[in-house]
Amino acid sequence: MSLKGKCGFDMLFVTHMRSPREQPTPSGNGGAVWTYLPDGRWIERIVSTNNGSTYYPAWTNRYVWDGQVLLAILDHTNGLVMSFVRGLDLSGTIQGAGGVGGVLAVTFRTNGTHFVCYDGNGNVTALADAATGANSAVFEYGPFGEPVRVTGPAAVAMPLRFSTMYEDDVTGDRKYLFREYRPSLGRWLSRDPIEEKAFAKLLERSSPPLAKSARDRSAERNLYVSCGNTLISRYDWLGLVADKGGTYNSSYCCPEVANWTPCSEICKMALRDVKISPTIAGGGVVCYHGKACGCLGAYRKVGYYPGECPQVDEIIQYHEDQHVPKADCSKCGFYRASKWKDGVDDTQEECEQRKESVRRLIAIRGYLDEKCESVATALIDLLEEQTKDCP
């Protein structure tokens, strides 16, 4: 299917071995063919020139990923063109925010290593030459994420810019995992996939609460705008319907964690964003957009804090993990009013779990150092008090 519009380029979509490919062809000058994985990650780009009748491949790029973040770009011989050193992103974890604001340095094959500078929303604003410390690139953006300044010897070569997303130097489009955004128009090039029946079915199967929430939001929003046209204070790394709430940058434009995000990462986000209150003693099950994880909290009244007594941590963690299968994530989302929930009330099942924790704590108490032994004893006394009226 060929679509030609006022922007002066053709767009050709084809399917090959179940990998969608996109071929934008600027008027008579050339084009690029992208190869995608089913989850939206792109793995190859072939850029071609056009002599008026046919295309000739000019260069090829291949893309190396770690989960949902880009690590390196290769050439057609698999030689390294550039690589990215990743650290904590805006979520305070490695991939919790899709790598937004998480690139520490970029190394170019022909231009050395450069450190990356950001604004508070995870947009790349400058590069600093690692050898000299001098500015090697400066970036400025308009209200819709469009570039208004790209200067410096390393600026053009740096593909990760606004929201730390990949900028296509052939079309000027910004590539997200689910669709592409055209900064010059302030619009996505396609509607949000929540409108597609297949996508909705997949979401319904993996997370019914999230699917309902997404449907409710899509009915209220223009499915072509990015983050509700508030890109100055919000960010997006998937290219889906914007979500409300969150604390990373006063807004959070991401409807769910990736399937591969481990509970250890989600619990770190919970500890930072939820600010566990003393009433949630010891921990609980946090529901982060449909995914349930057993997380540890502090028993402040008895001086227990996660990380100080690993053997005690294991017992509390085991207790919380028993609740995960029963947690009702439709009623407790990570960014909802009720952020923490045990999944069960103080029923006989909860009583039995607490009694089991007491038995485990008694078994290890004699092998702990003085501080942790005191914590274990205090926990035993507290749990026994809580279970004294249990059936």
pLDDT tens for each residue of the chain, 391 residues long: 333 333 333 444 333 333 445 555 445 566 788 898 877 788 999 988 877 777 788 889 999 999 889 999 999 999 999 999 999 888 777 887 788 899 999 999 999 999 999 998 889 999 999 999 999 999 999 988 899 999 999 999 999 999 999 999 888 899 988 888 999 888 888 877 666 666 666 655 554 544 555 554 454 456 666 766 666 666 666 666 544 333 322 223 333 455 556 777 777 766 655 443 333 456 777 776 567 788 887 777 788 888 888 899 899 888 888 878 777 665 444 333 333 344 444 567 778 888 899 999 999 998 899 999 999 999 999 888 888 877 6
- Using left for φ > 0, alpha for ψ between -120 and 50, and beta otherwise, residue 379 falls in alpha
Tokens of 340: 């923490």
How crowded is the C-beta side of 274, counted as CA atoms within 13 Å? Answer: 31
| Integer Cα distance of 82 and 220 in angstroms | 41
pLDDT at residue 8 in the model:
36
| Integer Cα distance of 239 and 219 in angstroms | 17
The H or E element containing residue 72 is: strand 69-74
How crowded is the C-beta side of 307, counted as CA atoms within 13 Å? Answer: 5
Beta-ladder partners of 113: 107
pLDDT at residue 335 in the model:
32
| Integer Cα distance of 272 and 92 in angstroms | 8
Name the residue with tokens 């038995």: 359
224 three-class SS: coil
91 three-class SS: coil
Task: Characterize 317-341 residue by residue with b for buried, 16 or more Cβ atoms within 10 angstroms of its Cβ, and e for exposed.
Answer: bebbebbbeebebeebbbeeeebbb
Beta-ladder partners of 117: 126
Measured N-to-C along each axis, helices 208-218 and 197-206 cross at an angle, to the nearest 10 degrees, of: 140
